[in-house]
Amino acid sequence: MRRQLTVTDGLGSAGGGAVGNTERELNREHEVLRRTLSERHARVVRLDQEDLEFDAEYEQLVAEAARLIDFENTLPARLAEPKRERSERFVRWSWRAEAAVSALLIAAVFLLENTAWWLVVLVPHLLATLGGCTIKVTATRHATQAKIAAVLHALCLLVVLVSLGVLSAWFIIAILASWLVIGVASDGTEAAKGRTL
């Protein structure tokens, strides 16, 4: 007999209301599937293989078992969905905010009549942050993507300080290195497979 699976198996205690609600709903759905399968199994074992309804009942038993297996296979991703959605909001607004800051810095170059050489740094920074706005936040990588977005904030602060002359232009090397780190870390976020706005 299969051990009863609960949605908290291997996960520890639930954190947060949305996660707790999701776990309760999934637990109820799992119980319904198990009960339905158990009832179907009880009907099949009472029948003789020669009975006319045996084949139909057996097919239904197999279908119920397949539904339960499919449910259990998708359970980890469904449990992670509330956390993924939180990460997605943070990631999406982080990239958008940094793109807006980049656009403001480009405008500041013209308004403050700074040297146009800063555009060599700021335009690629703007294009990169705009590109980041469309990265798909996946169930498997959402935590990593949120960390990348947090690092992006630090990078953007560095870009602001350098472009406004608070820090030396030598810090452009740190900006380039940071973009290299973000680019490598972002590789595998399925940007090419599924971008959304």
Highest-pLDDT range among 65-79, 94-108, 176-190: 94-108
The model's confidence at residue 80, banded by pLDDT at 50, 70 and 90, is: confident
Neighbour-count burial for 170-190, b at 16+ CB within 10 Å, e otherwise: ebbeebeebbeebeeebeebe
The model's confidence at residue 183, banded by pLDDT at 50, 70 and 90, is: confident
Q: Choose between 91 and 196: higher pLDDT.
A: 91
Rounded to whole angstroms, the Cα distance separating 163 from 117 reads: 10
Highest-pLDDT range among 112-116, 132-136, 170-174: 170-174
The model's confidence at residue 20, banded by pLDDT at 50, 70 and 90, is: low
Query: For position 138, what pLDDT does the model report?
Result: 79
Mean pLDDT of 177-190: 75
Query: For position 79, what pLDDT does the model report?
Result: 76
Which residues have C-beta within 8 Å of that of residue 143, sequence separation ≥ 6? 83, 87
Query: For position 14, what pLDDT does the model report?
Result: 39
**If you ran DSSP here, which 8-state letter would residue 175 be given?**
H
Which residues have C-beta within 8 Å of that of residue 147, sequence separation ≥ 6? 185
Query: For position 21, what pLDDT does the model report?
Result: 67
pLDDT, tens digit, for every residue of 125-170?
A: 888 888 888 888 877 788 888 888 888 888 888 888 888 778 888 8
Mean pLDDT of 57-72: 86
Q: Is the pLDDT of residue 10 over 50?
A: no
Rounded to whole angstroms, the Cα distance separating 72 from 49 reads: 30
The model's confidence at residue 117, banded by pLDDT at 50, 70 and 90, is: confident
Helix axes 142-163, 54-111, angle to 10 degrees: 0
Q: What is the DSSP string of 113-129?
A: T--GGGHHHHHHHHHHH
Q: Is the pLDDT of residue 105 over 50?
A: yes
**If you ran DSSP here, which 8-state letter would residue 51 be given?**
S
Mean pLDDT of 40-57: 83
Half-sphere exposure of 22 (CA within 13 A, CB side): 19
Mean pLDDT of 188-193: 46
Query: For position 194, what pLDDT does the model report?
Result: 44
